[in-house]
């Protein structure tokens, strides 16, 4: 099962109206992902769906927003009656850090609560 709880928020000022170039202000997204099994959930999504080239069932394609493209990526938009392919996508996301934190389950918390000082 690849389900997880995810929440995110932005930080920094919004990009001014009409500005498309980076103005140097510190801004971005912070996300929290909570799951029961790191490898089956978060690592699977990050590897298989975002960067390993099998985004939504199209081999060789990465997530168009979060995947690392470096100006050479492509993505297929499954439109009807004819799908559309975008070429030479830049990388939109720069990862500046990350952390894996342990959050014990309810059974472990109950056990810890019963321990004596």
**Half-sphere CA count of 64, side-chain side, radius 13 A:** 11
C-alpha torsion sign, points 74, 7, 111, 107: negative
Q: What is residue 106's three-state secondary structure?
A: helix
- Which residue stretches of 46-105 are H helix? none
Q: What is the pLDDT of residues 42-54, one digit of tens each?
A: 777 777 767 766 6
Q: What number of residues does the chain have? A: 117
Which pair of tokens denotes residue 62?
Answer: 């990465």
Which pair of tokens denotes residue 31?
Answer: 């996300």
Q: Quick one: which of 71, 72, 51 has its CA closest to 63?
A: 51
Quick one: pLDDT at residue 100?
82
Give the start-to-end residue ranges of the domains of the chain: 5-15+27-114
Rounded CA separation 12/93 (Å): 15
Tell whether pTM > 0.85.
Answer: no
Rounded CA separation 77/46 (Å): 20
pLDDT band at 11 (very low <50, low <70, confident <90, very high): very high
């Amino acid at each position: 099962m690849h389900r997880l709880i995810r929440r995110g928020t932005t930080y920094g000022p919004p990009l001014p109206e009409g500005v498309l170039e980076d103005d140097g202000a510190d801004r971005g997204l912070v996300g929290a992902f909570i799951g029961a099994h790191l490898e089956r959930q978060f690592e699977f999504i990050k590897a298989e769906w975002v960067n390993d080239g099998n985004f939504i069932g199209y081999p060789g394609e990465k997530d168009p927003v979060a995947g690392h493209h470096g100006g050479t990526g492509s993505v297929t938009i499954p439109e009807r009656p004819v799908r559309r392919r975008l070429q030479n996508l830049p990388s939109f996301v720069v990862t500046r850090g990350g952390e894996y934190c342990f959050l014990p389950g309810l059974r472990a918390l109950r056990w810890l609560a019963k321990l004596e000082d």
